């Protein structure tokens, strides 16, 4: 497989986006990067975990995208996220490792129109970690390799560089206008640690989590809820109403989600009353 050089990746420059304002609750997007994900070799558990955490923190995801380790595809996807007026926070994971197919930082530099630089704090931390691993007998040499050094080479002018106490590749934050791009390692243990220990308390503490209400029905026919759900789309457009059948447990879940607890409660009570008229009783969750 042909792997383009960092210089080739840098040539994929795209103009800087214009800043936007958010007259509504801003959404997030998740971009999972890796041939192993797109090829079906590895389950993308990172995106599932991030989507749940972002919803609970009040920064719900608008979309989740998987892309290959192709520089031009990474650049294209990052630009798409930055050009979307509804997206305020972009979370990229994967492709930060020491091997030639880890191209995320180089592609991001091209997408943001920035140079790749050695981040000295990260380089020093990698050196210390390599020495400790050598002393523990886990590495043959205490010398930092070119592969190790690749993980300290990031796009210039980051707003914040996260430490990653469980690995070498740093997490990084870039601000583009009013938008934020968070770049995280693909190793689940490292990604989750950076997110919960550093990103959540410092950058995601101001969100308002959505209200979620559920009714669970046993042996209910999903099609019977169709007219009611269409009606609720028109009368309560600010509340998302979805039906989710589980054919193994024979359960049907009607889930209502929205920013205003009173509106969500009103919708769930409408569903409860109308389903009772059809002879179905739902259990609240």
pLDDT tens digit sequence for 98-142: 999 999 999 999 999 999 999 999 999 999 989 999 899 988 999
**125 and 261 co-located in one domain:** no
Q: Is residue 226, in this structure, part of any structural domain at all?
A: yes
The pLDDT, as a whole number, for residue 22 is 40
The pLDDT, as a whole number, for residue 7 is 53
How many Å apart are CA 212 and CA 259, to the nearest integer?
Answer: 9
Q: Which residues pair with 258 in a beta bridge?
A: 211
**186 and 232 co-located in one domain:** no
Query: DSSP assignment of 2-24, as one string?
Result: ----HHHHHT---PPPPP---SS
The pLDDT, as a whole number, for residue 16 is 46
CB atoms within 10 A of CB 214: 17
Closest CA to 262 of 281, 246, 232, 239: 239
The pLDDT, as a whole number, for residue 5 is 53
Q: Which of 145, 170, 203 is the last residue of a domain?
A: 203
How many structural domains compose the chain?
2
Q: Is residue 59, in this structure, part of any structural domain at all?
A: yes
Judged by DSSP in three states, 50 sits in helix
**157 and 231 co-located in one domain:** no
Q: Is residue 1, in this structure, part of any structural domain at all?
A: no
Q: Which of 140, 174, 203 is the last residue of a domain?
A: 203
Q: Is residue 93, in this structure, part of any structural domain at all?
A: yes
**229 and 175 co-located in one domain:** no
**72 and 173 co-located in one domain:** yes
The pLDDT, as a whole number, for residue 209 is 77
**183 and 62 co-located in one domain:** yes
Q: Is residue 21, in this structure, part of any structural domain at all?
A: yes
> Does the predicted model carry a pTM greater than 0.75?
yes
Q: Is residue 12, in this structure, part of any structural domain at all?
A: yes
Q: What is the pLDDT of residues 187-208, one digit of tens each?
A: 999 999 999 999 998 999 887 7
Task: Please list the ranges in the chain whose pLDDT falls under 70.
Answer: 1-25
Q: Which residues pair with 29 in a beta bridge?
A: 63, 90
The pLDDT, as a whole number, for residue 249 is 86
- Structure-token match 């959404």, residue found: 27
Tokens of 63: 């979309």
**139 and 240 co-located in one domain:** no
The residue range of the domain holding 154 is: 6-203
The CATH number of the domain holding residue 220 is 3.30.70.600
130 touches 87 (CB < 8 A): no
Q: Is residue 219, in this structure, part of any structural domain at all?
A: yes
**189 and 232 co-located in one domain:** no
**151 and 242 co-located in one domain:** no
Q: Which of 203, 232, 264 is the last residue of a domain?
A: 203
* Residue 265 exposed, middle or buried by CB count within 10 Å (0-12, 13-18, 19+): middle
The pLDDT, as a whole number, for residue 232 is 95
- Structure-token match 């009368």, residue found: 235
The pLDDT, as a whole number, for residue 4 is 53
């Amino acid at each position: 497989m042909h792997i383009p050089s960092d210089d080739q990746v840098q040539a994929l420059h795209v103009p800087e986006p214009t800043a936007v304002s958010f007259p509504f609750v801003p959404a997030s997007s998740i971009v999972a990067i890796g041939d192993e994900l797109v090829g079906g070799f590895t389950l993308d558990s990172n995106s599932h975990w991030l989507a749940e955490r972002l919803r609970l923190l009040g920064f719900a995801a608008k979309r989740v995208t998987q892309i290959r380790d192709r520089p031009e595809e990474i650049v294209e996807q990052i630009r798409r996220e930055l050009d979307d007026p509804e997206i305020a926070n972009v979370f990229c994971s994967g492709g930060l490792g020491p091997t030639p197919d880890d191209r995320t930082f180089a592609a991001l530099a091209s997408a943001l129109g920035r140079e790749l630089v050695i981040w000295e704090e990260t380089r020093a931390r990698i050196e210390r970690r390599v020495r400790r691993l050598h002393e523990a007998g886990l590495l043959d040499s205490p010398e930092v390799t070119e592969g190790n050094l690749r993980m300290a080479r990031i796009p210039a002018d980051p707003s914040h560089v996260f430490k990653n106490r469980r690995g070498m590749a740093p997490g990084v934050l870039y601000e583009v206008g009013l938008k934020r791009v968070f770049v995280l390692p693909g190793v689940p243990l490292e990604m989750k640690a950076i997110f919960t220990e550093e990103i959540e308390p410092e950058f995601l503490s101001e969100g308002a989590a959505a209200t979620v209400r559920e009714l669970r029905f046993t042996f209910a026919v999903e099609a019977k809820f169709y007219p009611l759900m269409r009606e609720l789309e028109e009368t309560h457009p600010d509340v998302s109403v979805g039906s989710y059948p589980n054919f193994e447990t024979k359960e049907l879940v009607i889930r209502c989600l929205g920013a205003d607890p009173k509106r969500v409660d009103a919708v769930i009570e409408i569903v409860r009353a109308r389903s009772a008229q059809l002879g179905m009783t739902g259990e609240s969750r």
